[in-house]
Amino acid sequence: MISNSDIAKLRRDYKLKSLDESSVSQNPFEQFSLWLEDAIKTRILDPNAMILATSNKKNVPSVRTVLLKEIETDGLVFFTNYKSHKAKDLIENKIASSVFLWKELERQIRITGIVKKISKEQSENYFRTRPYESKIGAWASMQSSEIPNRKFLEDKFEYYKNKFLNTEVPLPPFWGGYKLFPIYFEFWQGRQNRLHDRIIYEKNKKLWKIKRLAP
């Protein structure tokens, strides 16, 4: 069993790149897109993995990983079951935070904002692009609900495969997209001696103010 002293010794120095407020884009969405493009070019597994933190009306936090599927000029879009744990949290508290971690590039982005459902039409447009099995999976899994065993889930998958055999799989009424409208971005670049670069964007009405934070 690993000891606490072994864990404490886990460290490395960061020295791949730097980040300066004079060289970043004035638009945080453009800066985000540049870093995401770098992550894709580096062939990082799941570069669009988005760690999403929500909380309910009792301020109990919950965190999980979803996949970013669309970048728009005012927000980031992901898809899920509208009856899931995260969806129930978002009914009670629409403020959420997310993290993108690309350790191969020694980079991290933190984002906080307001989350709202997207239109049914936009959800349908995305749903049509999903693989057939993923569409069936959306129908078969009532996400976050308790089930008796694995076979129960597999039987439901087979049921919906037969139900939608030789036909277009429709969008489930309980499934669709959300958009995170950011009010805060933090771009973190690992640096030597733990003197990391942290550049933040804070939204003031329609303008973004850029600042540097101490690491």
- Catalytic site residue from 11, 194, 198, 212: 194
CB 178 within 8 A of CB 90: yes
Task: Report how far residue 159's alpha carbon sits from residue 105's, in angstroms, rounded to the nearest whole number.
Answer: 44
3-state secondary structure 110-155: EEEEEEEECCHHHHHHHHCCCCHHHHHHHHHCCCCCCCCCHHHHHH
164 Cβ neighbours under 8 A, 6+ residues apart = 135, 136, 139, 170
Helices marked H in 43-117: 85-92
194 carries an active-site annotation: yes
Closest CA to 211 of 13, 11, 19: 19
Please state the φ and ψ torsions of residue 104, each to the nearest 5 degrees. -65, -25
Write out the catalytic residue numbers: 194
